[in-house]
Structures are given as structure tokens and as C-alpha cells.
Amino acid sequence: MAAATQNDWETNLAQLLKEISDVQGDLLDVLQAKRERMAKGEYTKLDDLQERERELGDRLQACHDKRTELLERAGECGLPSDSIGSLAKVLPSEERGEIKKQVEEAARRARLLQQETLTNWVLAQRSLLHVSQILEIFATGGRLKPTYGNGEFVHSRGALMDREV
């Protein structure tokens, strides 16, 4: 690799990793705000985050496109092109250390984003289940349908509520 080319690869990798880090940080903030609003039941305030999420998704897609382009150019130059990490390994040792740290941090944040997204998905599913159960209570008038038997509703009452029991 020529010295100018090495510097170009290092600069391009550093810029890409900085952009990825910025987007990941912003996305973590949005996901945290979303989780807090869902946990507090502030569902009407979730709409405020929708445009920001869309913008971050677009920025993340732009990072993905830049990554793909960078790896394709690396492959054309005979450099490793399977991942940013493998491309960073061919940099001179003094630059490689900093780029390697950035790659590891981006991977750590990606795992954290997956966990935050899963947490929000679970919260949303639990809320949906709760609403579903409330709708079922309204639809049946609060009476339980028997699992077995002749199809009549079970008229059981709680011991704490009724004096008769």
C-alpha cells in the first residue's frame, strides 16, 4: 500500500466509524426515551419520537451504504473486504490500534442497541397483551367461559368481595 493510500484508508475508516458512533449514540438516546415513555404509559408522547427515529434510520442506512462502498473499493484494491475489522487489520500498527478500538466500540454499541430494541419490543408486547385482556373482559362482561362443561358461564365470586363466601 502506498503512503497516501494508507492515509486515505485510515481517514475513510475513521470518518465512517465516527458517523456510526454518532448515529448509535443518538439512537440509544431515542430508544431510552421511548422505553421510559412506554414504562410510564405516556403513549401519546411516543409520536414525538417517530420523526427522530426515521431520521436516524436514514442516517444509519447512509452509514451502511458508505461501509459497503468502502469494502467494495478495498476488494478492488486487493485488501480484505469482508468486514471493517479485517480492513483495519492491514493498517500500519500505530493507526490500527485506534481504529480497532473504534470498531470494538461500534460492535459493543450495536449489541446494546439490539438489547434496547428487544426491551422496547417486550414492553410493547406486554402492553398489547394487557389491552387485549381488558378488551376480553369488556366483551365477556367479566364472566369466565368454562374450559370444560356444558358451555354455561362460571359464576364464581371472590372471598374478599362477597359476604356470602
The label of the residue with cell 476488494 reads: 75
pLDDT tens sequence across 12-42? 898 999 999 999 999 999 999 999 998 888 8
148 burial via Cβ count (<10 Å: 0-12, 13-18, 19+): exposed
pTM (global) more than 0.75: no
Kindly indicate the confidence band of residue 88, based on its pLDDT and cuts at 50, 70 and 90: confident
pLDDT beyond 90 at 145: no
pLDDT tens sequence across 53-67? 999 999 999 999 999
Neighbours of 99 (CB within 10 A): 20
